[in-house]
Amino acid sequence: MDITFIGAGYVGLVSGIMMSHLGHNVTCIDTDQDKILALQLGMLPIYEPGLSEYLVSGLKSARLQFTSRYDQKLSSTSAIFITVGTPPLASGAADLSNIFAAIDQLRPWINQNCLIIIKSTVPPGTASQLIEYLAASNCQAQIASNPEFLREGSAVEDFLRPDRIVIGTNQLRSRHLLREIYAPLIADKIAVVSTDLQTSELIKYVSNAFLATKIAFINEMANLCEKIDADIEQVSKGVGLDSRISQKCLQAGPGFGGSCFPKDVMALSSLAQTHQVDCQIVTAVIRANQRRPADMVNKIQLILGGLNHRTLAVLGLTFKAGTDDLRSSPALEIIRLLQLQKARVIAYDPAGMTQAKQFIPGLEYASSALQACTGADALIITTEWPEFTKLDFRTIHDYLKSPIIIDLRNLLDADQLTKQGFQYHSIGRRYAL
Ligand code: UGA
């Protein structure tokens, strides 16, 4: 089938490239000409494990094309996925201007047989609003909703083996077309939830808000564990083995970040306020997560007995491992707060340092974890990169001014490090092991 993606950002690129792998002829349109040029040459502008191989094979098979032009070819495409960004407005509500701009660009080229599928995360009611918007200019194209649930860092696997595919339509024909697009995955017994437009749009927000709630909750329980000498890792395991709860999103840490959870819980809260529904849990999750970085900095301060003129090696800048994305990264907020308290921070990250330069100008960077640790008063782990578990801790012990590790991701082996002479601190476990 001929499919077009509008917006070659994270969602558009992963979905577009992987749709071509499913056998569709895919064209990705993006107004950023430099990005399109790079993609035409097989170069990915994002860091996503495994995706590059699918990009190269898609280009080779000629089933994958990239362009910055909206033109006549659009009139023969069967389905157009909108995958542009919906960043938060100052109110917390989603900014839909990119969606409307994309629809305006498409309008001259599309006919009533075309199905426009909104994949961007949008508040319930947006698809219906777009149907009215198109009808007002005599454009009868159909609109559907098909939210995505890909996680950065494991997006290829998530695309090929999703827990479910959610399809929101107001017409049988649209539903059939979407099932046809996903036919290879449906044949693999992936569950499909077929529903109406608003419900489909809401499923996305409720999913992200529920997962964010689990994280905020386990982080609060970690605080409690520290007071009563219990172990949050064991609590998570003992609780998560209940299949009604599951182990996922029960890892305590410095708070959730990224381009989705913080934005989507805010948008859900704003939606609830608009409709005068008192969603207290959502509000509490936002508040609990916003104070998490400050709690982490207080913890560091208590351990070190002050921050003024302390040198800290901070390992990890990205909002989680496996990505170069720094958006709403708790690590960046922690660094900002440490610097406010006059600590000297030397940072290292395996993938995020180039991008970080735009976020925190003037931050000192090391070329390796070992270099960051040289002469530092403590080593702080802020992102759970697996390679940090393989560091040469014997050498690090000698290079640090004092052998203190504060592991805000509970990533490292507490027993081993203690045996090696470190004072090891973590989240939700005894103060120092
Ligand atoms: C999230 C959702 O998991 C995806 O299903 C969804 O498609 C995506 O948002 C989106 O809306 O586009 P992502 O932002 O890539 O995906 O990241 P997650 O792996 O879910 O992690 C989000 C944040 O929560 C990270 O900061 C991570 O470190 C934190 N987290 C996650 C925890 O602190 N503990 C956990 O147990 C899990």
Alpha-carbon gap, residue 119 to 116, rounded angstroms: 10
211, 154 contact by CB (below 8 A):
no
Give the position of tokens 């990119």: 98
Q: Identify the helix (H) or strand (E) that includes residue 181.
A: helix 172-181
Provide the token pair at 109: 């080229």
Residues 6+ apart with CB under 8 A from 167: 144, 145, 146, 175, 178, 179, 182, 192, 193, 194, 195, 200
Average pLDDT of the segment spanning 405-433: 91
Nearest CA to ligand 1 atom 1: 151
Could you report the per-residue pLDDT of 414-424, keeping only the tens digit for each?
A: 999 999 999 99
Instruction: Express as a percent the part of the chain with pLDDT over 90.
Output: 91
pLDDT at residue 431 tops 70: no
pLDDT > 50? residue 75? yes
pLDDT at 129 over 70: yes
Residue nearest to atom 28 of ligand 1 (CA): 320
Structure-model confidence comparison of residues 314 and 137, the more confident one: 314
Q: What is the pLDDT of residue 358?
A: 83
Pocket around ligand 1 at a 6 A CB cut-off: 121, 148-152, 208, 211, 215, 249-251, 253, 256-258, 260-261, 319-320
When pLDDT is averaged across residues 42-51 and rounded to a whole number, the result is: 93
Q: What is residue 355's predicted lDDT score, i.e. its pLDDT?
A: 87
Which pLDDT belongs to residue 357?
A: 85
SS3 content of the chain, % helix, strand, coil (to 5): 45, 15, 40
Compute, in angstroms, the gap from residue 215 CA to the centroid of ligand 1: 9
What is the secondary structure of 251-297 as a DSSP string? ---S---SSSHHHHHHHHHHHHHHTT---HHHHHHHHHHHHHHHHHH
C-alpha dihedral (425, 429, 432, 433), degrees to nearest 10: -100
pLDDT (tens digit per residue) in 203-218: 999 999 999 999 999 9
Is 249 annotated in the active site? no
Q: Report the atom number in ligand 1 closest to the C-alpha of 10.
A: 12
> Which of 150, 151, 334 should be mutated for ligand 1, with most atoms under 8 A from CB?
151
Residue 310 near residue 279, CB atoms below 8 Å: no
Determine which one of 114, 225, 260, 373 is catalytic.
260
Region of residue 11 (phi > 0: left; psi between -120 and 50: alpha; otherwise: beta): alpha
**Side-chain-facing half-sphere of 248: CA atoms under 13 Å:** 9
pLDDT tens for each residue of 79-115: 999 999 999 999 888 999 999 999 999 999 988 789 9
Question: In 3-state terms, what secondary structure has residue 370?
Answer: helix
pLDDT digits (tens, 9 = 90+) for 349-390: 999 998 898 888 779 999 999 999 999 999 999 999 999 999
Q: Please answer whether residues 311 and 343 qualify as being in contact, where contact means their C-beta atoms are separated by less than 8 angstroms.
A: yes
Residues in the chain, overall count: 433
Q: What is the pLDDT at residue 47?
A: 86
Whole-number pLDDT of residue 433: 44
Dihedral (Cα; 304, 310, 311, 316), 10-degree rounding? 50
Q: What is the DSSP letter of 342?
A: T
Structural Rg of the chain based on CA atoms: 24
Of 311, 306, 368, whose CA–CA distance to 345 is shortest? 311
- Listed as own residue / partner, the contacts of 360-363 with beta carbons closer than 8 Å and 24 or more positions apart are 360/332, 360/335, 360/336, 363/335, 363/339
Give residue 258 CA to ligand 1 midpoint distance, Å.
Answer: 7
Q: What pLDDT was estimated at residue 110?
A: 87
How confident is the model over 163-191, as a mean pLDDT?
97
Question: What strand order describes the sheet that includes 191-195?
Answer: 64-67, 25-29, 2-6, 79-82, 115-118, 142-145, 164-168, 191-195
DSSP 244: T
